[in-house]
Amino acid sequence: MKADLIVGIQWGDEGKGKIVDHLAQNYDAVARYQGGHNAGHTIVVDGKKIALHLIPSGVLNKDAINIIGNGVVVSPKALIEEMKQFDNLKGRLFISQKAHMILEHHIAIDRAKERLRGSKAIGTTGRGIGPAYSSKVERSGHRIGELRDIEKLSSSLMDYFDMNRDILKTLKIEIPSKEQIKEELMLYKEALLPYISDTTKLVWDLLNDNKKVLLEGAQGTLLDIDHGTYPYVTSSTTISAGACSGLGLSPKDIGKITGIAKAYCTRVGNGPFPTEDFGEDGKKLRERGHEFGTTTGRERRCGWFDAVACRYACRLNGCDELAIMKLDVLDGFKKVKICVAYEIDGKRVEDFVFDLDKAKPVYEEMDGWERSEGVRRFEDLPKNAQKYIKRIEELTSTKIGMVSTSPDRRDTILL
Ligand code: IMP
């Protein structure tokens, strides 16, 4: 059996939560492969609000197991808090022993470095993501599996602090004592030990047993560390390829890949965004789409659908299909716009570019529609909304398999 994959096509917040939540009902396991608690979505179940940041969405399907892969950076503190929302996760949650930990000093470094960047700040979520991945790559990080031996782990952490004492002092970051560290790590060990396992073997076994596995990407393609709008990106491989290293799968293990994109575009944090609308339209998109971050509460920047970026993202991920989310947010606009090319130094360019900050959008304007909200069949969509979807399909050379017309799970058009 091959594992199916869901990946964000834009700058994150595409509404993956609704799709993964919807699909999780049909999967035996859901696995996260990158990112950390910088991601997040809120789901309402039986009137109760559940905020997910690290735990995969399969947690809402009582029969599914949930895997946090080695490519994820795990804040034990944040994970323990999140786990409190559920009664019993034993046998339903598995955390890779190889996943690196986000510890308090990573968060302090993230915030201190953002302050030092001043006007060039990335606009990180301040969750310690970049510093934790930096430690991993620098080979000074610590993995969840090391919680099994607190004495050894705390000594190793003290060695790290000793080596970096001057740097941390400059950043005004307080270094804890070994006793404080041990105390904190013990709490993590007590809470997490039953869940720490060899998730690589687990995923292999699931696939060998013909179980259905869903791989859940966090953030989006344009935030990918290699292929996104560097340096205004997150620190992980957000594209589908990240699922291989982030779980221990081979490319041959990946089956259907679905890219999730909003019918318009949003971005949080800084960095280039050619189709951003600074006027009334952008404001209307923000209000209608409730475009405020679930993790940080920040206002999202809003603008029109960028077909150039979407085509690039579909190719990078190898998308078999696209799911277009929040079509209803465009209801009532007299005209809707799609970016079909960029203009750079007076020249038209149809590919995604290295210097995205120099790109001006070339728009195609289409007539809008009154109401798509709640529609569940393609034929029932207003004609102009149908044309809009078909045009995106044409411009991105990718089949549109799903269109979402409201936050309700049932308001989904399958094509
Ligand atoms: P970091 O991941 O906290 O280091 O932040 C780096 C950039 O990625 C910032 O622009 C964040 O706003 C953005 N980012 C991180 N996680 C998400 C997400 O889940 N949705 C949207 N943007 C995100």
Between strands 347-349 and 335-344, the pairing is: antiparallel
pLDDT for 24? 87
| CA 123 / ligand 1 centre spacing (Å) | 8
Predicted confidence at residue 41, as pLDDT, reads 83
Domain-wise residue ranges, the chain = 3-74+200-414, 100-194
Task: Let me know if 41 is a catalytic residue.
Answer: yes
What separation in Å is there between the alpha carbon of 378 and the centre of ligand 1?
33
State residue 22's pLDDT score.
83
pLDDT at 296: 77
Cα separation of 129 and 75, whole Å? Answer: 9
Q: Domain spanning 3-74+200-414: which CATH class is it, in words?
A: alpha beta
Ligand 1 atom closest to Cα of residue 298 = 12
Nearest alpha carbon to residue 311 among 217, 397, 402: 397
Q: Is the CB of 217 under 6 A from ligand 1?
A: no
**Residue 355 is a catalytic residue:** no
What is the amino acid identity at position 101? M
Q: How confident is the model at residue 115, as a pLDDT? A: 96
Determine the residue of 14, 125, 229, 236 to mutate for testing ligand 1's pocket, defined as the one with the most ligand atoms within 8 A of the Cβ atom: 125
Atom 8 of ligand 1: nearest residue by CA position: 234
- Beta carbon of 130 within 6 Å of any ligand 1 atom: yes
Tokens in use for 369? 């529609």
At position 162, the amino acid (one-letter code) is D
CA of 38 to the centre of ligand 1 (A): 6
Q: Of all protein residues, whose CA lies closest to atom 9 belonging to ligand 1?
A: 124
User: Ligand 1: which of 234, 295, 299, 300 to mutate, most ligand atoms within 8 Å of CB?
Assistant: 234
From the CB of 248, is ligand 1 less than 6 Å away?
Answer: no
Q: Kindly report the backbone phi and psi dihedral angles of residue 8, in degrees, each rounded to the nearest multiple of 5, phi listed first.
A: -75, 140
Phi, psi of 404 (to 5 degrees): -105, 135
Q: How far is the CA of 41 from the centre of ligand 1 (A)?
A: 13
| pLDDT given for residue 333 in this prediction | 98
Instruction: Compute the distance between CA of residue 293 and CA of residue 140 in angstroms, rounded to an integer.
Output: 31
User: Would the CATH topology of 3-74+200-414 be identical to that of 100-194?
Assistant: no
pLDDT value of position 44: 72
341, 362 contact by CB (below 8 A): yes
pLDDT of 66 reads 97
Q: Is 15 in the pocket of ligand 1 (CB under 6 A)?
A: no
Residue among 211, 305, 323 nearest 265 (CA): 305
Please tell me the predicted confidence (pLDDT) of residue 25.
87
What is the CA(95)–ligand 1 centre distance, in A? 22
Pocket flag, ligand 1, residue 12 (CB < 6 Å): yes
Task: Check residue 248 and give its pLDDT.
Answer: 98
Q: How far is CA 6 from CA 33, 215, 255, 341, 405, in A?
A: 11, 6, 11, 26, 19
Q: What's this model's pTM, rounded to 2 decimal places?
A: 0.96
The pair of structure tokens assigned to 123 is 């606009």
pLDDT by 10s per residue, the chain, length 415: 999 999 999 999 999 988 888 888 899 999 999 999 999 887 777 778 888 999 998 998 889 999 999 999 999 999 999 999 998 899 999 999 999 999 999 999 999 999 999 999 999 999 999 999 999 999 999 999 999 999 999 999 999 999 999 999 999 999 999 999 999 999 999 999 999 999 999 999 999 999 999 999 999 999 999 999 999 999 999 999 999 999 999 999 999 999 999 999 999 999 999 999 999 999 999 999 999 987 778 899 999 999 999 999 999 999 999 999 999 999 999 999 999 999 999 999 999 999 999 999 999 999 999 999 999 999 999 999 999 999 999 999 999 999 999 988 889 999 9
Out of 13, 110, 277, 411, the active site residue is 13
Which atom from ligand 1 is nearest to the alpha carbon of 125?
3
CA distance 29 to 218: 16
Q: What is the pLDDT of residue 45?
A: 74
CA atoms within 13 A on the CB side of 373: 9
Residue type, 11: W
pLDDT at residue 17, as a whole number: 87
Q: Atom 1 (ligand 1): residue with closest C-alpha?
A: 124
| Substitution candidate for ligand 1 out of 13, 42, 124 with most atoms within 8 A of CB | 124
The CATH architecture one would assign to domain 100-194 is Orthogonal Bundle (1.10)
Length reported for the chain: 415
- Give the pLDDT confidence score for residue 200 in this predicted structure: 98
For a mutational test of ligand 1's pocket, the pick from 6, 38, 266, i.e. the residue with the most ligand atoms closer than 8 A to its C-beta, is 38
Q: What is the pLDDT of residue 409?
A: 84
